[in-house]
């Protein structure tokens, strides 16, 4: 999508601190980290949120989780949280599917 922030990051129109990229998945550090390690993993193709995942596009979600597992191992993370805020009330501020990976501090449950 031409005016989507994360689509612009994928296209390189907005700079990002990239961790990983393949033909379908892009991972980069969050600009406003909420933990000592905080990065985002997204599909390169535009999906608005978890609510936009369908049988036709779901394969990229499995790839995203493979990337998360691999990156966590590479970064030496032995405990981390994966979060995807879906909808405004849940805290979603960027309407392009993304999975937060947070690590390096104690976390509370339930999340606020
Ligand atoms: P959400 O609030 O939708 O769950 O998560 C969006 C995340 O994107 C936030 O954690 C926010 O800090 C991050 N973010 C927003 N704009 C940018 C940006 O331009 N670059 C990067 N790297 N992260 C961003
Ligand atoms: Zn997008």
| Ligand 1 atom with minimal separation from the 38 CA | 10
Q: With 0.85 as the threshold, say if the pTM is over it.
A: yes
pLDDT in tens, 75-107: 999 999 999 999 999 999 999 999 999 999 999
Q: How far is CA 80 from CA 9, 39, 42, in A?
A: 24, 11, 17
Q: Please tell me the number of Cα atoms within 13 Å of 28 on its side-chain side.
A: 21
**Does residue 105 contact residue 35 with C-beta atoms inside 8 Å?**
yes
Q: How far is the CA of 81 from the centre of ligand 2 (A)?
A: 23
32 lines ligand 1 (CB under 6 A): yes
84 lines ligand 1 (CB under 6 A): no
98 has catalytic annotation: yes
pLDDT at 1: 82
């Amino acid at each position: 999508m031409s005016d989507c922030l994360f689509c612009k990051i994928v296209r390189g129109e907005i700079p990002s601190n990239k961790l990983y990229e393949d033909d379908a998945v892009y991972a980069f550090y969050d600009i406003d980290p909420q933990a000592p390690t905080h990065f985002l993993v997204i599909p390169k193709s535009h999906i608005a949120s978890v609510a936009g995942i369908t049988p036709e596009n779901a394969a990229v979600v499995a790839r995203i989780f493979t990337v998360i597992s691999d990156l966590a191992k590479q970064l030496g993370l032995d405990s981390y949280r994966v979060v995807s805020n879906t909808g405004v009330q849940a805290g979603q501020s960027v309407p392009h599917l993304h999975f937060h990976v947070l690590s390096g501090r104690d976390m509370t449950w339930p999340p606020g």
